[in-house]
Structure 1
Amino acid sequence: MRRRQRGVAVAEVVIAMTLSLLVTLVAATLLHASNQDFQFNGANTRIDDNGRFALAIIGQAVRQAGFPGEPDAVAGPLPPLAVEGRDDASVATGAAGMGTPQPSVNGSDVLAIRFSSAAIAGAGAKAGSAMLNCAGFPADPGEWAWSIFYVAKASDGVAELRCKYKSEHSWGADAVLRGVDAFHVLYGLDTDTPRDGIPNLYLTASAIDARDAALPPAEQALQPNWRRVASVRIALLLHGERGSRPGPLLSSYALLPGDDAAALVDEASLPPAMRHRARRIFGTTVALRNP
């Protein structure tokens, strides 16, 4: 009788322990799933904030490109290009302007924007003080300011969108935001004569360079196709923290579908540590206000 009672007691203990382990396992699974959802939602929120911020900074720079605009009758040399770019390249921080092309990050592009100070424009101090480069500084009197956007890797290997500008004594660059997989640009050309300010086709920087290179030498120096840019279409791919997207599947992202076949990022081509992250594409088209 006692042996039977002991056996029943042992069985009850085993059942209780098994149930406890099952409850613990279920709780751990739910906690892990909840933590993944929290990490995924948090990463997407940060990506959304970063994307909106980047589009606002670049959009503001593009809208003031070419200020104060080209006069109807030009006396002397033409002003510098309001907008210029490079495909599949980066830039060196200390070099003047875009300098010599540097290796790109995932085929990202370079977007260079220029505008004049109030002294060149002949406007009042109030108008000139509102014209700031991507670092928040106004142009020096008598000079053309730069805002150059490109992607480069930080010291820890994380790619970031940077803004390059000319300070009073030298060239510098600041990070706009981190976690950028790629940055691509298309340029809307107004091919009508006379111009109506509406783009008729969107081309990459290389395609515009090719159109200018096909012109007679006397016209090539004027870069007339670059001067016909009426709008800029930009696209950014941003990513979140490691492990912010659960699941074994890999994805590919077309930043400018149908317009630029090179604007494609395939997670399978990325380092293992950069895969399985929350990602999102941000894009916009900005018209140039100063033809």
Structure 2
Amino acid sequence: MNLTLRDRARNSRTPHHQAGLTLLEMLISISLGLLLVFGIGTIFVGSNQTYRVQEENARIQEAGRYALEIIGRNLRQAGYADISIDPVATKTAFQGTPVNGVNTICPLGTPVTDLLTVQYDGRVGEQDCQANNVNAGDIVQHTFFIENNVLRCNAVRAAAAPAPPAACPAANTGVELLNNVEDLQVLYGIDITGDQSADRYTATPANWNQVVTARVCVLVRSPNIGVVAGNQNFLNCAGALGTVAAGAAFTNAADTRLRRAFVATFNLRNRVNNLP
């Protein structure tokens, strides 16, 4: 149907609606988009940080358990005597000091840690902590110490019981067992009454042959920095072992690493029925 001139004129005066977005609508859309991206980014960063903390904590726990397992295995073997299978052979005591400890610094300028020495009769077919073969008649001496935040073990094999070291071995002596171990502290349970149980614990026994247990603490830190925000106030080995008052039991560190003290008590099994 053809439009009349009047209809065409009326249609030409009808306003047309604007297509697209206004500037205000565009700004609102951009703002909402930015808020959404910021929210997603915040969730991602938070989840990633939580994952990092959990991962570092798992590494610390694994390292702490491993350190105590290695040291505990040696302490349980302290004073072992390789008795002949001959039924008429006489049982003799281990000729040496099964366990000994020194509070020292390895190397100079670092925090004071303990040096733990364990001795026992070796058996053919065994290896010491440095993977050296043990010969018949060898007495094996293992010394555990901290050097530059590394738990190390130095092995000595001799026909006669060597004297326990009074200071740290030379730098880089022995084998590395575990990194990121900051402290090693040991309390020794001594049997005064002869009932083969610890009557009290001390860091410096007067008679090492009275030692029947050892309470060991290792302080392990996370391999990476930036795990925690700000300073961390953590329980140190002195606090974990109960040798200091409440205020000194905690240490504040500003390097954003996680730290944890691990403690375990081990019986010197070969000291049973063999006390002086």
TM-score normalised by length of structure 1: 0.70
Q: Is the 8 A contact 1:83 1:112 kept in 2?
A: yes
Find the aligned partners of 2:199 and 2:228 in 1 and give their Cα distance.
Answer: 42
Shift of 1:85: 0.8
Opposite residue 244 of structure 2, the aligned amino acid is: A
One-letter code of the match for 1:20?
Answer: G
Is there any run of 5+ residues in structure 1 with no aligned partner, and where?
Answer: 91-101, 119-127, 154-158, 212-224
* Counterpart AA for 1:261: V
Tell me which residue corresponds to 2:218. Answer: 236
The alpha-carbon deviation at position 167 of structure 1 amounts to: 6.7
Query: Deviation of residue 139 (structure 1)?
Result: 3.1
The one-letter code of the counterpart of 2:73 is Q
Query: What residue number does 1:198 align with?
Result: 197
Counterpart-to-counterpart distance in 2, 1:266 and 1:6: 67
Alignment partners' CA distance in 1, 2:92 and 2:39: 77
Instruction: Give 1:227 deviation, angstroms.
Output: 0.9
Change (3 A) 1:129 1:69: closer
Counterparts of 2:256 and 2:151, CA distance in 1: 21
Percentage of matched positions with identical amino acids: 26
Q: Secondary structure of 2:113's match?
A: coil
Q: Post-superposition shift, 1:66?
A: 1.2
Question: Residue 137 of structure 2 corresponds to which residue in structure 1?
Answer: 142
Letter in 1 for 2:183: A
Q: How many residues align?
A: 234
TM-score normalized by the length of structure 2:
0.74
**Aligned-pair CA distance for 1:69:** 8.4
Give 1:290's aligned residue. 270
1:201 is displaced (CA, Å) by: 0.8
- After the TM superposition, which residues 4-153 of structure 1 pair with which residues of structure 2 at under 5 Å, given as runs? 9-68=22-81, 79-90=95-106, 102-103=107-108, 105-118=110-123, 128-130=124-126, 132-153=127-148
Amino acid at match of 1:166: V
Q: Quick check: which has more Rg, 1 or 2?
A: 2
Deviation at 1:37, TM superposition (A): 0.6
2:251 corresponds to which residue? 266
Counterparts of 1:203-222 in structure 2 under 5 Å?
Answer: 203-204=202-203, 207-208=204-205, 211=206
> Aligned partners of 2:244 and 2:63: how far apart in 1?
25
**Residue in structure 2 matched with residue 251 of structure 1 by the alignment:** 233
Higher relative contact order (CA 8 A, sep 6+): 1
TM-aligned CA distance change 1:113 to 1:229, over 3 Å: same
Name the structure 2 match of 1:216: none
The Cα of 1:264 is off from its aligned counterpart by 5.2
Q: Aligned partners of 1:135 and 1:54: how far apart in 2?
A: 16
CA–CA distance in structure 2, aligned partners of residues 110 and 104 of structure 1: 16
> Shift of residue 281 of structure 1?
1.7
Q: CA offset at residue 133 of structure 1? A: 2.9
Residue equivalent to 2:12: none
Q: In structure 2, what is the equivalent of residue 217 of structure 1?
A: none
